[in-house]
């Protein structure tokens, strides 16, 4: 019995002395096997393990094409996992290391998507949080990424979707300014309301949200007893939105215009 105890103890000590490489099942895997296994983990939603495999692939075979592909896959895995900071860091690293890579257009597109889907950004209109409390920083960064993609890679297969999202983002940012302008107006800060609404019209020409912005300007200038500015804003609104619902009692209810994707 004592002898068996010594044998068991020796086995435990031996197991404890093993290094991570000795117990790592991937130790002798080829680059192709590491990549295929990582992709399999990705397909099943096991993003943490997929990232682990991709990182091993990159560190063990840093000079092959698999390493560059692994870097892109890592960024995508973090994005699917909902880890925005890690996903953005991985994207920026790839762009910095491989600015002329054939697939760098995808990384610009992915960077835009990461910011576009930021849950705490201006797009989260489904929450009950006051829209004026949200930071539109992610919207602007998504806009910059998509705009850069469309300008630098007009023939990219990702450009059509990026262009559609750009149009959405323009109105989203304009709508944010209109929310802020309405916030100021409701609290009696009429000059601030007029200035914010005017900024929406000026900075985002052609955006559908300009209709609401012009109406805030009309109301604000009227409250400030500035009839000339009020009439100017009303004339512009009637020229651009002759059938505006604001001339007939205003919209009956907010439309879920943001529900596109």
Positive/negative CA dihedral, 185, 189, 194, 197 = negative
Q: What is the DSSP string of the chain?
A: -HHHHHHHHHHHHHHHT--HHHH-TTTT--HHHHHHHHHHHHHTT-HHHHHHHHHHHHHHSTTSHHHHHHHHHHHHHHHHHT-HHHHHHHHHHHHHH-TT-TTHHHHHHHHHHHHHT-TTSTT-TTSSS-GGGS-THHHHHHHHHHHHHHHH-TT-TTHHHHHHHHHHHHHHHHHHHHHHHHHHHHTT-HHHHHHHHHHHHHHSTT-TTHHHHHHHHHHHHHHTT-HHHHHHHHHHHHHH-TT-GGGGT--SS---TTTT-
Between the alpha carbon of residue 61 and those of residues 19, 51, 64, 100, 246, the distances in Å are 21, 15, 6, 21, 63
**What's the CATH superfamily of 31-100?**
Tetratricopeptide repeat domain (1.25.40.10)
| pLDDT given at position 133 | 52
| pLDDT given at position 64 | 79
Positive/negative CA dihedral, 10, 11, 13, 17 = positive
| pLDDT given at position 5 | 54
Residue with tokens 């790839």: 94
Separation between Cα atoms, residue 180 and residue 213, nearest integer Å? 10
| pLDDT given at position 76 | 96
Separation between Cα atoms, residue 226 and residue 220, nearest integer Å? 9
One digit per residue, the tens of pLDDT, for the chain of length 261 reads: 555 555 554 555 555 544 554 577 878 888 899 899 999 999 999 999 999 999 999 999 888 788 999 999 999 999 999 999 999 999 999 999 999 999 999 999 999 999 987 554 444 544 445 554 556 788 889 999 999 999 999 999 999 999 999 999 998 899 999 999 999 999 999 999 999 999 999 999 889 999 999 999 999 999 999 999 999 999 999 999 999 988 877 665 544 444 444
Separation between Cα atoms, residue 95 and residue 100, nearest integer Å? 8
Residues 6+ apart with CB under 8 A from 212: 175, 178, 182, 246
| pLDDT given at position 22 | 52
- Are the C-beta atoms of residues 69 and 103 closer than 8 Å to each other? no
Separation between Cα atoms, residue 108 and residue 235, nearest integer Å? 41
């Amino acid at each position: 019995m004592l002898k068996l105890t010594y044998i068991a103890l020796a086995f435990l000590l031996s197991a404890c002395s093993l290094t991570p490489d000795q117990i790592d099942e991937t130790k002798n895997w080829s680059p192709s096997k590491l990549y295929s296994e990582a992709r399999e983990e990705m397909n099943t939603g096991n993003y943490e393990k997929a990232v682990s495999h991709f990182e091993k692939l990159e560190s063990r075979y840093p000079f092959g094409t698999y390493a560059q592909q692994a870097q892109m896959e890592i960024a995508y895995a973090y994005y699917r996992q909902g880890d925005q900071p890690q996903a953005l860091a991985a994207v920026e690293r790839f762009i910095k290391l491989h600015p002329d890579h054939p697939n760098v257009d995808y990384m610009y597109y992915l960077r835009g998507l990461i910011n576009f889907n930021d849950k705490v950004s201006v797009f989260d209109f489904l929450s009950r949080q006051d829209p004026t409390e949200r930071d539109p920083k992610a919207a602007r960064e998504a806009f910059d990424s998509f705009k850069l993609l469309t300008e630098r890679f007009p023939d990219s297969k990702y450009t059509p979707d990026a262009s559609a999202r750009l149009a959405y983002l323009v109105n989203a940012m304009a709508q944010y300014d209109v929310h802020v302008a309405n916030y100021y107006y409701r609290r009696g800060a009429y000059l601030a309301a007029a200035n914010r609404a005017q900024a929406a019209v000026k900075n985002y020409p052609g955006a559908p949200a300009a209709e609401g912005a012009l109406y805030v300007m009309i109301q604000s200038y009227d409250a400030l007893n500035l009839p000339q500015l009020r009439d100017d804003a009303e004339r512009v609104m009637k020229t651009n939105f002759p059938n505006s619902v604001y001339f007939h009692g205003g919209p009956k209810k907010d439309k879920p215009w943001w529900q596109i994707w």
